[in-house]
Chain A
């Protein structure tokens, strides 16, 4: 199998606080992980691509100082939303690509962030 988990599945935080979302590949090594954001009734938009052991590559318009991504191991990537604001409320989905895999991405179940 190729299972990706995310934690937490839902989080509510107050404006100005930081929130960390974890993405784990449970039964495979993920050399590349992707983070997507999905606003209500919209499609998934890629935020950043992270390769294990190196800095993440952010898409245009995504603030790297606000959305900190760490891919410290072959099974874990974290996304930290710093100084969250209500407009950061969204559904965050990660995906992982296996070592040696070229096209497949395995998606996590998503994390719903609400900033009050």
Chain B
């Protein structure tokens, strides 16, 4: 069975602080994809990143960075110098390697960035 755990239910930080959102996953597939999505109050999911299981390189995109470690089955997301506009719910998701397989979403982490 596949499972995604996001242990942090809610996080509050003050603007300009760095914040890391944790994601731990479980899967028996050898090939899989990991995703992060942002869901602002409007509800629409905003795609942030996709990472396949064979690519453990860390990635940086502006203020966002991701740390993928297969050894600990983790795919953590860091926002540097957070801004109020980063306030949202962030979901980590996992997709297996079978055609047609759906996403398994984590429970989400609600991030509040205070001015």
| B102, A43: Cβ atoms closer than 8 Å | no
Assembly CA distance A110 to B45 (angstroms): 9
| A43, B45: Cβ atoms closer than 8 Å | no
Do A97 and B100 contact each other (CB < 8 Å), given the known contacts A44-B105, A109-B43, A109-B44?
A: yes
- Chain A binding site: helix, strand, loop or mixed by DSSP? strand
Q: Which residue of B lies closest to A45 (CB)?
A: B105
| B103, A105: Cβ atoms closer than 8 Å | yes
Size bracket of the B interface? 20 to 34
Q: State how many angstroms separate the Cβ of B53 from the closest Cβ of chain A.
A: 11
Interface 0/1 of A38-67, CB less than 8 Å to B: 000111111001010000000000000000
Q: Which residue of B lies closest to A108 (CB)?
A: B44
| A49, B43: Cβ atoms closer than 8 Å | no
Q: State how many angstroms separate the Cβ of B56 from the closest Cβ of chain A.
A: 17
| B108, A104: Cβ atoms closer than 8 Å | no
Q: State how many angstroms separate the Cβ of A41 from the closest Cβ of chain B.
A: 8
| B107, A112: Cβ atoms closer than 8 Å | no
Q: Count the A residues whose beta carbon is within 8 Å of the partner chain — how many? A: 22
Residue of A43, A93, A102, A110 near B99 (CB, 8 A) is A102
Please name all residues of chain A whose beta carbon is closer than 8 Å to the beta carbon of B50 when the two chains form the complex. 103-104
| B105, A110: Cβ atoms closer than 8 Å | no
Q: State how many angstroms separate the Cβ of B27 from the closest Cβ of chain A.
A: 13
Interface 0/1 of A77-116, CB less than 8 Å to B: 0000000000000010101010000111101011010000
- Please name 7 pairs of A and B residues whose Cβ atoms are closer than 8 Å in the assembled complex, sorted by A: A42-B108, A43-B91, A44-B103, A93-B45, A102-B97, A103-B95, A109-B43
